[in-house]
Structure 1
Amino acid sequence: MWLRDETCEEVVANNWFSPPTGNPHEQIHLRLKKLRQELRKWNKQTFGWCHSKIKSIENAIKDVQMKDQSVENLALEEALQVELDEQYKRVEVMWKTKAKQRWLQDGDANTRFFHLSTVFKARSNRIHAIKRTDGSLVHSWEEIGNEFLNYYSQLFSTEFGQNSHPFPPDLESLIPQVVSEEDNVSLCENPTADEIKSVVFEMAPFKSPGPDGFPPSFFKNFWHIVGTDVVKAVQHFFLSGSLLKALNHTFITLIPKNDKASSAEQYRPISFCNVTYKIISKILAKRIKPLLDKIISPFQMAFVPGRTINENSIISHEIMHYMLSRKGKKGFMAIKMDLSKAYDQVEWPLLLQILSNLGFNSRFTSWIKECITTSSFSFLLNGSSFGYLTPTRGIRHGDPLSPYLFIIYAELLSRILLNNENLGRFKGVKISRNSPTISHLCYADDLTIFCRAEIGDAQCIQDCILKYATWSNQAPNPSKSFVHFSSNVPASAKRNILAVLQMPECTHKAVHLGLPFCKPRSRRQAFNHILDKLSGKLSGWKMKNLSQASRGVLIKSVGQALPIYHMSTFLLPKSLCGKMDSTLRKFWWGARQDKKFLALKCWDDICAPKNLGGLGFRKMWEFNKALVSKLAWQMCFPQDKLWSQILGAKYLHFNSFLELPGRTVGASWIWQGIMEFREIIKEGACYHVFANSEIKIWQDPWIPTVQNFLPPEEHMQEWAQNQNLFFVRDLMENDCKSWNLNILHEIFPRCEDSHHLLLECAFTERIWFSSKWKFRLFPFRHLSVSEWFLTITGKDQRFLPPNSTQEEFITFWIAVLDLIWGNRNNILHGKPKMEPDAVARIAHTHTVEHSQAQVLKSLKASSVVFDKWLPPPEGWLKVNTDAAFSDGEGMVACVIRNHEGTIICAKSERIWAHDPTAAEVLVLKSAFLFWTTQRLTKLYLRLILC
């Protein structure tokens, strides 16, 4: 809101450039602190109470509207209306910032729905009472704050004394060095001013600010003022390795994990860091990110570039499908667990030791240490700051660096499991003979372990978990941990294993990464919760407060985005997609519950693209098809991803995905969906030709410029096969680096395309050479026709022939192309063709004629004289009249204006006259009558006669 006032920049500039004190960190901290105080004063003086100002301006507008419509009053009303619009816009921006809805865009109206969204968000996050450990409730703000402070003081305090962390004796063998010296050089570079600026401008502008009170939008809008000091502060950290604790102070806001949160542990602590610290953190995170693929094992799917949550879901589903249909004596089990308070209990010494073992040098490790150990917290409790806490362990939710540090920290558990698997102490699951063995899958703090359903494997898994818990102080959450067994495991074995693991057996309601963990009998049963969630969202939006345009935004950004995660992996039932479409359709037309409604347009038309008259909504079934087809496309390259390797080994059996015959009996839901839309890939896929490829000439699609990508001359197939020409490589020279043109021209006639017709054809070349410039095409053959046109129409005149103007040559160029196309059509339809020199001669004639026509057109245009209205002297009025006459009937009009051009009054009337002279007299009469009836004096009369 402040940014909309021009004086805001003056306040920032006047209070920023104070004499420097201390190092760059202390300088920027003091300047931000001083500026915050000055901006608060300026806010009260400039903005005050927006609503009272709005009411005052509205009353002033009403007063002006009650007065005479003079020029001064009209100007005053216009100025007041502009000021009123600005006040409304400021209030709108204020509420938009409070609402924090990602689907709200600049330009959205400040509606009642806007306010309800904000009020509901504030109410849902407000803490009215909290339950103590003894079960009693506290209600006062201070008691609630002390309860959270006590809880998090214990949670963020390490149980190990200084330098007494029990590092595992075999940590070096578990975590080998993978970061090279070259990597460390790039990691430890001092960031440039451009790098720092790009990080700032990548931030979302209205993210919640840290304790200093300044969001990223402040730094973006006033970078020309504050940018130099921000760059110095950030570079000071990378040069000195120290960070001012005040810059690293953090607000923690407490978000309830569910609707019935009642105790401190049921709230999620989200950190609001200062922007200056977030710049440092983002730079470090961006440098770590490219190295994650070689640091993190392939079984961790979170935060690693190129890996997604869908891969975890696909692999888990395939293994669970395998376990469901498992027969024989050997049974398997899946152990699902969620690490309790994973971020909050990260032990700093162990994290730093893991970083060191991975190969990060001491300088980079010291930067990480400074970022996590200089942090401090205050709680944002119901909008006010409470308490102060200095942690000795844990990393912050909301810190850009935290996700990467956590998966590096949790990699220790993955290495422990892999080490025990390699030693043969337990064995993972292999769903087919050639499939990779999967012992565990991770997504951040969500872990699933797959192994044999045997006491020995269960005991080994329990030992691994206890060992990791001892070293890292992280243990599974009992309420989110359970075991699922394959169908062939006897009940007695299940009881023994559950006793060892101390976990319950999986129920049908268990969820893993938002999907049912145990495969239900029907897909409708598995995914019906999506429809329930969508209906709940829509019912929560009060339709009476929404315009039609607002509903459209909500449908696109929320309603149709809700099922994307599920639809990216599974083919949902068509009936379920239809019901979701129906739900969105009712919401669009404002229907309430099961009542009838009037649909003015069919849903198919509404879902059409905007350029075809629709609104661009997506039909759920078509959208689902497109997303699953992406999986089918990735299956064409089964070695690229772990999930595609597993599916390829199970279903392809060394066959090509596109050539796999029929459907696979007993396949999983995912594979059924992929095979359902394989034909879509077939229709649009074309092989990339390379040396020694096994692409078949007549069966495989390999020619991207023809329909179906297949050779068109099927009658030459038998001849080619008699010549032992079966594969595309047979059409190449012996070195496989170039085409054998003799064979190609023998089998395939020269294909006609625009490039050949207009740039390569010998006939075309003779036309250009027959021009008066003797123009040659050779320098332009590497270009497309459109690129050639852009070249000759550009600023560089070197590509034009000598002694020619750009306009002349472009006209000639267009004429030649038009004549070539006409000549081509004549040949195609058996008409006589023109010779190249004749084409060039006609093109030159057209060029000259066009140039002459342009000169004539400009002469005609310059001969038009515009009659400009001239004002009368000040204090006088001017009457302009005009008349139109035809067949005895006509119209006359009069308008009276003052010296400023303001219209005082005007009239028009129908007349009847037998000739133009009579009409002119009637015009004059009408003007004088109008003049006298208005009782005006000092008039000029201007007649336009017919």
Structure 2
Amino acid sequence: MVKKEDGQLTGDEKIIREKFLLYFKDLYCPPSVHACRTDDTNNIAQMCHNIFEDLNNTAWPKIPQSAHHKIVDAPDYHEIKKALFDMGPDKSPGPDGSTARFFQRYWHIVGPEIVQQIKLVFIREEIPDDWLKCHVTLIPKTEEPQTPAEYRPISVGNILYRLVMKLIARRLQPYLKQVISCEQNAFVKGRCISDNILFVKEILHSFSLPNFRQSAFLLKADVNKAFDKLEWPFLQMAMQYLNMPQKIIALIISSYRRARVTINVNGKGDGFLKPTRGLRQGCPMSPYIFIISMEVLSRMINGAVNGGLLKGVKVAHTGPVVTHAIYADDLILMGDASQVEVQVLYSLLQSFAIASGLHINPQKSRLWFSRRCSQQTANSVQEIWGAEEVVGAEKYLGVMLNKKGDIRSNGRMLLDKLKAKLSGQVKWQIANGEAVHALSQPWFNSWSINQNANQSDRRLKVSELIEEQTGQWDMQQLTRLFNQYQIQEIVATDNKPNLQARGRDRLIWQHTKTGKYTVKEGYKVLLEMQNEPVAAHVFDWQLIWRQKNLEPKVKIFLWRLMHKGLPMATNLHRRMNNFNPMCQRCGLENEFEMHCLFYCETSRQVWFASPLGIRVHALPLDIVQTCTQVLDCLDEDGAKLFANTMWEIWKERNKAVIEHEIFKTRDVIQRVKVGMSMADMSNCLQGDPSNTIVWQKYEYYPEGWQVLVDASWERSMKSGRAFVVYHREILHSVGLRASDMHDPFHAEASGLAEAMQYVYDKMQIPMDTMVQFFSDCSNLVLAINQADTADLPSWRAVPVVNEIIWRVENASQGPKVQHAKREALQQPHGLANAARRGVMNYEGPPTLMMQQVGRLTEMIDDNFFQRVQEAPP
């Protein structure tokens, strides 16, 4: 939706596109560059000439001439490869449609060509036209933007263009500390944002002290559209002034002037714009170019101080004179509150604005005055700057500035930031909603802090959003407090308050089954957020150790594999430099873990014949990530097959390498098949005969009912829930499949809840009739019988368990939940497995059901090894 000239919102695609294209055409291609405005262009050129002529008359640090060859020389193979592999692999693709991951994954194929092309760019001092195409993606600045100005344009260029700019930026960075003045702290190694924050807060604190005798002002200046309005002639002269190599300057300016930009609106772009000013937000070089431009302003101000035109501010009698602080486009100016000094500083900024295109926006700028400054003086300063005086607190670089030193505003802001950060990690699980404030505590996924809420709304509890009579959401309240997307999630969520519910609202960490935070889980989530491979020491080893049907030697093999402890060629090469790291089977690539077990052609043949259906080309490059992803999606049988297949490939590889035998794919597959069968037989023989109970007798109530419940679950969140209903004989058998169960406990609890609902609602058995429900999940049975959900193994199952407890407690006799051994639940267990595998959803006579399950299971087993027998040798 976009706002038209008459103030009305419209969703018309054509109008939206026209408004956006017109706005960005005016932003990137201002009319002053056309022939009809040559006077303005001449004024800019003259102003630039005057500024840099004055600066050249003063000795300021510049990039040494001796460093030019280090910046200009063509990069070598290793420098190019390192820069490419340091790029975020999954960042937005450019017009070529490729992400950095593509080039990183297939470096062994495309690497030599990339190196050659990048070297040619540095030699010819020109970037190919195709590399300069750019898509501008629009990121909303507000929750509900209505005008093009409320979107931030992010340029997404081709990977090779970004790679060239990254190389230049890396070479230039070591020299910036020498040439960028100490008043600038952004993007300079060794300087940080906290320096600016502490500096400005100390100045404001001094303004309020009785012994500060100066009449002074401090201006927080807002630079309007800083990155988008920077003039290229000024930029070129700024880089020349700092003695950047002329070849690099020509390369950068040429890439700007020849660029073609497409504005993406709703995922589509029409035609190209040819910008005449501005930097590309998203280009690795843009931050450094910007601080070079702002360095001109810094030196203009320092030159005025040295020339006696500006007094600045002195916090102490023997302290230094301070006049400004710059962090990227955040500009702080300060000085004596005399009309003469303010006028000089204002004139400097006007000259800089005409030359650079970076104008101050007075509506968004703010002023502070020292306690010695009279109201008349403050009014005259405000009139010159056109900015308002700060009455309370004002935000600067993420903290609140307040002359009176009020730290509460900083504390509130810190808490709000912390809540916003944690909103995607932790949330409140609602029982009755009495303990959770709807607007100040996260309780659904898209929750965010509502800064505009009044105090009474901030105290509103989640329970107050429910209508007491109906037990449904109060839509009038939701519409008033939340946006439409949040309302959709709230209505659809199962995190709904039950005013009669037992238990209490509790805060949960969403990345663990129990809802409790652990350092291990937090570290794993942090690595995932940074796109880092999961290290072996944070791998969930329960995926392997709990596999009772996996031989110990295979478990040890997997442990050594993920700790890079197997004698593969690359591992041996790390220990012995003279050892050849190449694969001795194919000779095409270094033999690392993924190549040995998956990528090598002989290994690919084995996986092609495997019934697991693993697509080798789609697997991650890291062996730990691969094992995590694959094992997460497999049940016990699939995990055993996956591990045994890797084990047999490794054994056959050793024969091929050590005994110089031919790698025989058919033998590997046959051994996998035999190994699976032998493991099953071994597990049966090792079992305790006293525990092999076919059926367990339970007390039958003369007028009672019995329901046997079980669930089957796999890490892809697919599950099967089943129950069998008895009343002296089997009456009903039900099997249901679901794909939204997050863990086994969740599946077991849902299965029991569905069984109760079926018995009491569908079969319409009266609630005062004794019905025994049997489950093999001891934690679930204990929680229900003790009516305590505080320490459940799964926080997602809490609402389900609360519902069961409510049913148990609100019946005179009603349901009774007891524990049973797994051997006693063979019928629901088999039915749940069949439902999970997608064999069937079933409701009907149990005898026919078990016959169908048996026949279908046999069919699956036959198909399981059909491809194995047809595999190539």
Query: Could you state the TM-score of these two structures normalised by the residue count of structure 1?
Result: 0.45
The structure having more radius of gyration, on CA atoms, is 1
